[in-house]
Structures are given as structure tokens and as C-alpha cells.
Structure 1
């Protein structure tokens, strides 16, 4: 599991950074969505170097369930 810094906000306006654990940058974006306010969008996603940082939310759930894999 890696830690990602996801910059969210209104383009050309206020921005903020949330930190989330994730296996991939795409899943990091999914994990950041519940932490976003109305009108915010994801502006950037960057993997951090320090795996021991505090995070702002849990990792995103899986998009497939083991019982659904054929």
C-alpha cells in the first residue's frame, strides 16, 4: 500500500491536499472522492515518499467482489 497526496479544489480557486492509502493512483482518486466537498474536483495525484505519514481517509473499496469473478 502506498500513500498518495491528492490535490482537490476548484480550478483557479482554493485547493487543498488530502492523503490517502492506495495500491494505485487511480484508486487514490477513488479514495479521495468521499473526502471532497461539493464543487471540488481532483487536480493532481502524486505518490509520496514516506509510507508512515498520517492519512485523511481509508483506501478505496475494491470494484470487484471475489464471488463475481468468473
Structure 2
């Protein structure tokens, strides 16, 4: 992922925003984790962590691609 590296601050911001958006999207699709189940079991927490990680990774790649296109 060296091509999409945004630095520490950029990666953190993209990860946070992507994690929140990924969690919200999955919650609205029915893979809701904590918000939908109303509990804090291991499955719900694992779902939130997974959706946040995937959302953060996708956001980092998208922002990296946009940054790369703007530099050219």
C-alpha cells in the first residue's frame, strides 16, 4: 500500500472517516453490529471492527488515488 500512503495524519483521518462510513453503510444493509443488535456480544463487536477496518482501507485507497491523480 506504499502507493496510497498519505502520511500518519492523512491515513488516520481517512481511516476514521472510512470506518464511520463503512459502519453506517453496513448497519443500513442489515449487518448492523452493536447498533442493530442492541447488545455488546463478541459477534457484534467483531462486525463493527471488521466494517470499520474495511471502510477505512477503502477510504485510504480512494483518497490515495485522488491525491495521485491531482499530482499528475
Q: TM-score, normalised by structure 2?
A: 0.29
Q: TM-score, normalised by structure 1?
A: 0.29
Larger Rg: 2
Higher strand share: 1
Higher helix share: 2
Q: Which has the higher contact order (CA 8 A, sep 6+)?
A: 2
